[in-house]
């Protein structure tokens, strides 16, 4: 009894399995290339997003406002990181005690941290239409 057909089937199965593995490996490699790195150095961040506020808001611990296209003012203390593709920023949100001295008639809703241990947030840069100082010295 000859088992030549079984050997042929195993060879074909092995070849197809190899091609499938190569294809899935290539897809994972493509996904890995798309991963975003977060820059925490102000100088490197300014190269990705060369706006005045990038390096200043990363080095100063102040009170800034980022006005969104939805009309909300995100009140932050500083930018903590910027994605290397220039699409996202990580920020440290200001806490609610800043409401005591913010203008009461400001035409935007303020977005603040919900508590002292919940001050981190990520914002999509394309949704920010203005960056302003909310405090003077």
pTM: 0.68
d(CA 28, CA 24): 6
- Cβ-contact 110, 102 below 8 angstroms: yes
Total domains present in the chain: 2
CA angle 76, 110, 124 (to 5 degrees): 55
Looking at per-residue pLDDT, the higher value among 32 and 16 belongs to: 16
pLDDT tens track for 109-130: 889 999 989 999 999 989 999 8
Domain containing residue 62: CATH number: 2.30.30
pLDDT tens track for 27-59: 776 665 566 677 787 777 777 776 767 778 888
Residues spanned by the domain of 1: 1-35
User: Quick one: 10 and 74 in the same domain?
Assistant: no
pLDDT tens track for 72-122: 999 999 999 988 888 898 999 999 887 777 777 777 788 999 998 999 999
Q: Flag whether pLDDT at 3 surpasses 70.
A: no
């Amino acid at each position: 009894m000859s088992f030549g057909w079984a050997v042929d089937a195993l060879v074909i199965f092995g070849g197809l399995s190899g091609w499938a593995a190569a294809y899935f490996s290539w897809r994972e490699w493509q996904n890995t290339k798309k991963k975003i790195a977060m820059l925490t150095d102000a100088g490197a961040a300014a190269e990705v997003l060369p706006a005045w506020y990038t390096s200043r808001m990363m080095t100063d611990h102040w009170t800034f406002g980022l006005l969104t296209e939805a009309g909300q003012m995100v009140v932050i203390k500083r930018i903590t990181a910027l994605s290397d593709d220039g699409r996202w920023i990580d920020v440290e949100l200001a806490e609610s005690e800043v409401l005591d001295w913010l203008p009461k008639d400001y035409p935007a809703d303020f977005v603040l941290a919900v508590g002292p241990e919940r001050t981190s947030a990520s914002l999509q840069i394309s949704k920010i239409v203005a960056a302003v100082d909310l405090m003077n010295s």
